[in-house]
């Protein structure tokens, strides 16, 4: 997409922006790896809960008689914990990954646009036909916009 020339004191500058190019930018947020990490965390937490419940169940005399009961109770506790926590974790991970993907897209587009503007200013600075005052004013205007200052007082 080409942006129309912008005139700074009647000196046109053309900026080229390509936001859709896959070769230029690839989002570092991967939904599949985020989902896999959520599953791994949920399984790990469930195994921990199952181990604790199985260990606590050995404190009872009736369960001590049979060695398989603590293992069965721990496994049941782990499966119940996994069944209750996994859907919530997967949903939250999906929502958070989507939000972070969009934030990274906005950040990358902003940096790409900023880079294109600075390349245009750089080519203008190297041009000998543009006066020094115009070069300074254009660079100062871009830096002012980059820093977010709404007002700049220039000397006459």
In a domain? residue 36: yes
List per-residue pLDDT tens for the chain, 156 residues long: 555 555 445 444 454 454 454 456 677 778 888 899 999 999 999 999 999 999 898 888 776 667 788 889 999 999 999 999 999 999 999 898 888 888 888 887 877 877 888 888 778 778 888 787 877 777 777 777 777 665 555 555
* Any domain includes 65: yes
Q: Is residue 138 in some structural domain? A: yes
Residue 11 lies in a domain: no
Long-range pairs for 40-49 at CB < 8 Å and ≥24 separation? 41/89, 42/82, 42/85, 42/86, 42/89, 43/82, 45/81, 45/85, 46/78, 46/79, 46/81, 46/82, 46/85, 47/78, 49/77, 49/78, 49/81
In a domain, 106, yes or no: yes
Cβ–Cβ contacts within 10 Å for residue 64, how many?
12
Q: What is the pLDDT of residue 85?
A: 93
In a domain, residue 87? The reply is: yes
In the chain, the number of structural domains is: 1
Q: Which domain holds residue 123?
A: 31-146
Domain membership of residue 135 (yes or no) is yes
Task: Give domain status of residue 109, yes or no.
Answer: yes
């Amino acid at each position: 997409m080409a942006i129309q020339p912008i005139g700074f004191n009647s000196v046109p500058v053309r900026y080229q922006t390509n936001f859709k190019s896959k070769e230029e930018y690839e989002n570092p947020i991967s939904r599949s790896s985020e989902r896999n990490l959520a599953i791994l965390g949920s399984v790990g937490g469930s195994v921990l809960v199952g181990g604790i419940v199985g260990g606590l169940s050995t404190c009872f005399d009736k369960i001590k008689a049979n060695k398989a009961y603590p293992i069965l109770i721990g496994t049941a506790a782990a499966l119940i914990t996994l069944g209750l926590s996994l859907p919530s974790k997967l949903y939250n991970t999906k929502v958070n990954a989507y939000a972070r993907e969009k934030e990274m897209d906005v950040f990358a587009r902003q940096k790409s646009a900023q880079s294109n503007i600075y390349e245009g200013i750089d080519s203008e600075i190297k041009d000998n036909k543009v006066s020094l005052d115009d070069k300074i004013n254009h660079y100062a205007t871009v830096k002012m916009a980059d820093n977010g200052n709404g007002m700049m007082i220039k000397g006459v």
